Amino acid sequence: MARSYLSEARRRGLGRRTERIGPLVARLAAEHADAAIALRFRSDVELLISVMLSAQTTDVNVNRVTETLFRKYRRPQNYLAVPVEELERDIYATGFYRQKAKSIRGAMRVLLEEFDGRVPRRLEDLLRLPGVARKTANVVAAELGQAQGIVVDTHVRRLSQRLGLTRNDDPVKIERDLQRLVPRADWARFPHLLIWHGRRVCIARRPLCESCVLVDLCPAARIDALPADA
């Protein structure tokens, strides 16, 4: 699917990816000026926990759980001071609660033993935390103002392909493609722009091409939605 969109971009004469990325970012930024992380947190530790809990569930669900969770667990030590079964009950509604509880406790232990209880900024340090893979590490680093990569979730993957920015399906390879295209100053906000555009306009089952600000730059756009002079 992604490969055909790259071919379609050439067929429609939309220009090279490097030529389109500037206008793409600028239009998305103007259209979704409020694009930001939907998770609610008040500290670096709460950010880390929220992102870990968000796997395989919605941000709305995570926020519902953490509203109570963060009143009970305020520091890394608190997650280790209760029986694991109690933590499992407290995060049960986020799904995969046994694995998440194990990962959270492991991550908090490493924070205390190796980082004085503080969430590290460097990607390589974040990846040393149990349960923290590259996507989680990228989200945390970016929200802490230290973006060292580009978050690739399902929306970013789908829209990057539809926009003809990558022919890859593997998230690591997609990230590599985007890092070569997107200016480093935009690495943190670019995923948010694609995520919100995917939720509001480029909906998987029924993309609203007729109201999309990228329609004349998108090789996946419906022909009938293109401007008359496109």
For residue 196, what are the CA distances in angstroms to 33, 184, 193, 220? 10, 20, 5, 18
State the catalytic residue, choosing from 44, 59, 125, 153: 153
* Mean pLDDT computed over 28-41: 97
pLDDT at site 228: 67
Structure token pair of residue 43: 């500290």
For residue 102, indicate whether it is catalytic. no
The verdict on pTM exceeding 0.95 is: no
Tens-place pLDDT, residues 76-86? 999 999 999 99
For residue 153, indicate whether it is catalytic. yes
Minimum mean pLDDT range among 5-9, 37-41, 179-183? 5-9
State the catalytic residue, choosing from 135, 169, 170, 177: 135
pLDDT over threshold 80, residue 54: yes
Q: What is the largest CA-CA distance in the chain?
A: 66
Tell which residue, 93, 81, 23, has the closest CA to residue 56: 93
